[in-house]
Chain A
Amino acid sequence: MEWANQLCENRQFGSKMTDSKYFTTTKKGEIFELKAELNSDKKEKKKEAVKKVIASMTVGKDVSALFPDVVNCMQTDNLELKKLVYLYLMNYAKSQPDMAIMAVNTFVKDCEDANPLIRALAVRTMGCIRVDKITEYLCEPLRKCLKDEDPYVRKTAAVCVAKLHDINAQLVEDQGFLDTLKDLISDSNPMVVANAVAALSEIAESHPNSNLLDLNPQSINKLLTALNECTEWGQIFILDCLANYTPRDDRESQSICERVTPRLSHANSAVVLSAVKVLMKFMEMLPKDLDYYSTLLKKLAPPLVTLLSAEPELQYVALRNINLIVQKRPEILKHEMKVFFVKYNDPIYVKLEKLDIMIRLASQANIAQVLAELKEYATEVDVDFVRKAVRAIGRCAIKVEQSAERCVSTLLDLIQTKVNYVVQEAIVVIKDIFRKYPNKYESVIATLCENLDSLDEPEARAAMIWIVGEYAERIDNADELLESFLEGFHDESTQVQLQLLTAIVKLFLKKPTETQELVQQVLSLATQDSDNPDLRDRGYIYWRLLSTDPVAAKEVVLAEKPLISEETDLIEPTLLEELICHIGTLASVYHKPPSAFVEGSRGVMHKRLPARTGSGESTESPDVGTAAGGSAPEAAPSIIPSQGDLLGDLLNLDMAPPTTSGPPPPTTGMQMGGMDLLGGGLDSLMGDESEPPHVPPRMDTPRSPSPQPPSPVYTHTDYTYTDYSHTDSPPDHSPTEHSPPAELGGDIGGSPAMGAGFGAAPAVMPASLNAPVGGGLGDLFDLGGVGMPMGAYIPPKIVWLPAMKAKGLEISGTFARRAGVIQMELILTNKAMSVMTDFAIQFNRNSFGLAPAGPLQVLTPLGPNQTIEVSLPLSTVGPVMKMDPLNNLQVAVKNNIDVFYFSCQYPISMLFVEDGKMERQVFLATWKDIPNDNESQFQIKDCHLNSDAASSKLQGSNIFTIAKRTVEGQDMLYMSIKLSNGIWVLAELRVQAGNSNYTISLKCRAPEVSQCVFQCYEAVLKN
Chain B
Amino acid sequence: MIGGLFIYNHKGEVLISRVYRDDIGRNAVDAFRVNVIHARQQVRSPVTNIARTSFFHVKRSNIWLAAVTKQNVNAAMVFEFLYKMCDVMTAYFGKISEENIKNNFVLIYELLDEILDFGYPQNSETGALKTFITQTGIKSQSKEEQSQITSQVTGQIGWRREGIKYRRNELFLDVLESVNLLMSPQGQVLSAHVSGRVVMKSYLSGMPECKFGMNDKIVIDKQGKGGATEEAAGKRSGHQSIAIDDCTFHQCVRLSKFDAERSISFIPPDGECELMRYRTTKDIILPFRVIPLVREVGRTKLEVKVVIKSNFKPSLLAQKIEVRIPTPLNTSGVQVICMKGKAKYKASENAIVWKIKRMAGMKESQISAEIELLPTNDKKKWARPPISMNFEVPFAPSGLKVRYLKVFEPKLNYSDHDVIKWVRYIGRSGIYETRC
Where the two chains meet, the residues of A that have a C-beta atom closer than 8 Å to any C-beta of B are 2-3, 6-7, 10, 13-14, 17-20, 22-23, 51, 54-55, 58-60, 77-80, 83-84, 86-87, 91, 114-117, 124, 127-128, 130, 150-153, 155-156, 159-160, 162-163, 166, 189-192, 195, 198, 202, 228-233, 236-237, 240, 259, 261-263, 265-270, 272-274, 302-303, 305-306, 309, 311-314, 316-318, 338-339, 341, 343-345, 347-349, 369, 372-373, 376, 379-381, 417-419, 582, 584-590, 594, 597-599, 602-603, 683, 731-733, 831-835, 864-865
Contact = CB atoms under 8 A, between A and B. Distances in A.
Nearest to A4: B94
Contacts of B44: 348-349, 732-733
B255 interface: yes
Contacts of B95: 7
Contacts, number: 342
A280 B190 CA distance: 31
A309 B251 contact: no
Given A233-B120, A265-B258, A864-B51, 4 more contacts: A228-B256, A306-B245, A599-B52, A833-B51
Contact of A127 (B31, B50, B113, B118): B118
A192 B110 contact: no
Given A265-B258, A379-B381, A586 B150 contact: no
Interface in B22-61: 22-23, 26-31, 34-35, 42-54, 56-58
Interface of B: 1, 13-17, 19-23, 26-31, 34-35, 42-54, 56-58, 69-77, 79-83, 90-95, 99-100, 102-107, 109-110, 113, 117-118, 120-125, 132, 135, 137-138, 141, 143, 146-147, 149-151, 153-156, 158, 182, 184, 190-191, 193, 195, 199, 245-251, 254-256, 258-259, 272, 274, 277, 279, 379-381, 383-386, 388, 431, 433, 435
Given A18-B103, A60-B14, A314-B76, A309 B195 contact: yes
Max chain B C-beta neighbours (<10 A), residue from A130, A228, A306: A306
Nearest to B123: A231
A10 B22 contact: no
A115 B49 contact: no
A385 B23 CA distance: 36
Nearest to B115: A233
The 6 closest A-B pairs by CB, nearest first: A302-B246, A20-B102, A152-B150, A270-B76, A262-B259, A262-B255
Contacts of B54: 586, 597
Contacts of B47: 316-317, 586, 589-590, 732-733
Given A13-B135, A311-B58, A586-B54, A116 B147 contact: yes
B73 A586 contact: yes
Given A60-B29, A339-B191, A731-B49, A305 B77 contact: no
A348 B44 CA distance: 7
Contact of B45 (A192, A303, A349, A834): A349
A160 B99 CA distance: 34
A84 B106 contact: yes
Contact of A732 (B29, B45, B254): B45
A305 B245 contact: yes
Contacts of B51: 831-833, 864-865
A958 to B, nearest CB: 43
A152 B81 CA distance: 20
B105 A835 contact: no
B154 A189 contact: yes
A177 B364 CA distance: 74
B265 to A, nearest CB: 13
A349 B104 CA distance: 33
Given A2-B272, A59-B13, A267 B381 contact: no
A269 B76 contact: yes
Contacts of A272: 76, 248
B49 A20 contact: no
B383 A80 contact: no
A314 B79 contact: yes
Contact of A79 (B102, B137, B388): B137
Nearest to B25: A833
Contacts of A263: 255
B75, B92, B106 interface centre (most CB from chain A within 10 Å):
B75
A269 B80 contact: yes
A20 B258 CA distance: 48
Contacts of A163: 118
Contact of B431 (A116, A274, A343, A599): A343
A74 to B, nearest CB: 15
B106 A231 contact: no
A303 B259 contact: no
Contact of A585 (B58, B75, B100, B190): B75
Contacts of B94: 3, 6-7, 10, 14
Contacts of A588: 75
B322 to A, nearest CB: 16
Contacts of B48: 732
Given A313-B46, A864-B50, A864-B51, A20 B99 contact: yes
A960 to B, nearest CB: 49
A59 B13 CA distance: 8
A787 B213 CA distance: 76
Contact of B182 (A3, A160, A309, A341): A341
A584 B76 contact: yes
A192 B155 CA distance: 9
Contacts of B22: 130, 166
A313 B56 contact: yes
A152 B153 contact: yes
A693 B137 CA distance: 68
A159 B117 contact: yes
A347 B42 CA distance: 10
B109 A54 contact: yes
Contacts of B27: 833-834
B245 A603 contact: no
A166 to B, nearest CB: 7
B280 to A, nearest CB: 11
Contact of A19 (B35, B103, B153, B386): B103
Contacts of A60: 14, 17, 26, 29
A598 B182 CA distance: 42
A864 B31 contact: yes
Nearest to A835: B34
A236 B70 contact: no
A229 B109 contact: no
30 contacts: A7-B94, A17-B107, A17-B135, A19-B104, A20-B99, A58-B16, A163-B118, A189-B154, A190-B154, A195-B122, A230-B156, A233-B81, A233-B122, A265-B258, A270-B74, A273-B76, A305-B245, A306-B247, A309-B195, A311-B83, A313-B58, A317-B76, A347-B43, A349-B43, A585-B73, A594-B72, A597-B72, A832-B51, A834-B34, A864-B35
A153 B150 CA distance: 9
B380 A380 contact: no
Contacts of A602: 71-72
A316 B45 contact: yes
Contacts of B137: 78-80
A265 B125 CA distance: 19
A318 B386 contact: no
B5 to A, nearest CB: 12
A418 B49 CA distance: 37
B28 A192 contact: no
A597 B13 contact: no
Nearest to A602: B71
Nearest to A20: B102
A341 B380 CA distance: 24
A344 B73 contact: no
Contacts of B199: 2
B80 A270 contact: yes
Contacts of B80: 232, 268-270, 314
Nearest to B193: A339
A162 B22 CA distance: 13
A44 to B, nearest CB: 11
Given A231-B158, A418-B379, A270 B77 contact: yes
